[in-house]
């Protein structure tokens, strides 16, 4: 339960460290371990769908910094599993700072949609320090993007470089600019031009906003590979896959919806990220 007073500690978020000091954590009913450093009971609380403006620092148990940003923006989603990062963010009010102790593998793979950094072994915790600086509505962010982002390909490439760094992407792009990241090698039939593929997918923009998902629809998607039934990035990327495989595609706009975007869903010059599973090749 939150204190009725504003709690100010002598340490600030950017200097605090709980990596080797695991005392002081409380247990949320969901199983989340958390520790507040500052409480602002007058601050606004976020709701699902809001865009959170955060300062964030991600550390190992021995206090090594893995990620750090003073102005990180992400959309608050419903928890993906009990006691996850989104559970912690929903506890915050604007002005609060806290540390969440999470399972590293689940945090990076589920919440951050990236490979687990080599600094973590199976079962290791990760310590995520956050300060909630502001809350934007989805409409506010869309308006900001339309005026400040996605104006040309140079802007897109700048955003893509930032994303690749934050997501610790180490693979090289193909000649077309596609990034193919294999998560699980398939052992079944190879995807080939003219074959009908049955897939599950979740598509996001590089700021993490989901724009389409077969999983949310509860039904796999089918298409014929190489027949211009899907974006060019898909026709290229699935050629790397076998039945049963799981992968991540990072697809620049010139292999997707280009300078025109798509309806009001995907803005011009939008790099797209897809988590895919190839279920069947027929």
Catalytic residue among 212, 223, 224, 262: 212
Distance spanning both ends of the chain, measured CA to CA = 55
Catalytic residue list contains 115: no
Catalytic residue among 108, 163, 180, 257: 257
Catalytic residue among 25, 36, 72, 201: 201
Catalytic residue among 135, 181, 206, 231: 231
Catalytic residue among 100, 108, 249, 274: 274
The strand pairing partners of 246, in sequence order, are 184, 277
CB atoms within 10 A of CB 23: 6
In angstroms, the Cα distances linking 3 to 26, 38, 96 are: 14, 10, 12
DSSP 67-104: EEEEEEEEE----SSTT-HHHHHTT--TT-EEEEEEEH
d(C-alpha 102, C-alpha 28), whole Å:
12
Distance of CA 257 to the CA centre of its chain: 21
Catalytic residue list contains 211: yes
Catalytic residue list contains 257: yes
Catalytic residue list contains 231: yes
d(C-alpha 246, C-alpha 266), whole Å:
24
d(C-alpha 74, C-alpha 108), whole Å:
14
Provide the H-helix boundaries in the chain: 85-89, 104-106, 138-148, 153-166, 214-217, 232-237
Catalytic residue among 140, 152, 211, 260: 211
Catalytic residue list contains 274: yes
Q: Which residues are catalytic?
A: 201, 211-212, 231, 257, 274
């Amino acid at each position: 339960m939150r204190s009725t007073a504003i709690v100010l500690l002598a340490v600030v978020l950017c200097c605090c460290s709980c990596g080797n000091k695991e005392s002081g954590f409380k247990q949320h009913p969901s199983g989340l371990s958390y520790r507040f450093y500052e409480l602002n009971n007058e601050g606004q609380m976020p709701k699902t769908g809001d865009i959170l403006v955060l300062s964030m620092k991600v550390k190992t148990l021995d206090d090594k910094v893995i990620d750090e940003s003073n102005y990180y923006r992400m959309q608050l989603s419903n928890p993906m599993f009990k006691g996850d990062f989104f559970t912690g963010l929903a506890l915050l009010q604007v002005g609060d700072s806290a540390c969440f102790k999470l399972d590293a593998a689940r945090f990076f793979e589920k919440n951050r949609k990236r490979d687990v950094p080599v600094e973590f072994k199976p079962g290791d915790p990760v310590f995520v320090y956050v300060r909630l600086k502001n809350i934007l509505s989805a409409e506010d962010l869309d308006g900001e993007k339309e005026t400040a982002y996605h104006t040309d390909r140079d802007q897109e490439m700048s955003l893509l470089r930032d994303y690749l760094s934050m997501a610790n992407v180490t693979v090289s792009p193909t000649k077309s600019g596609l990034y193919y990241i294999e998560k699980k090698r398939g052992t079944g039939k190879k995807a080939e031009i003219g074959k009908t593929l049955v897939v599950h997918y979740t598509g996001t923009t590089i700021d993490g906003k989901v724009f389409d998902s077969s999983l949310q629809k509860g039904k796999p998607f089918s298409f014929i590979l190489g027949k211009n039934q899907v974006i060019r990035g898909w026709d290229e990327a699935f050629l790397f896959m076998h039945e049963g495989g799981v992968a991540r595609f990072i697809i620049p706009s010139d292999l997707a919806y280009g300078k025109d975007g798509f309806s009001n869903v995907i803005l011009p010059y939008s790099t797209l990220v897809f988590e895919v599973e190839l279920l069947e090749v027929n």
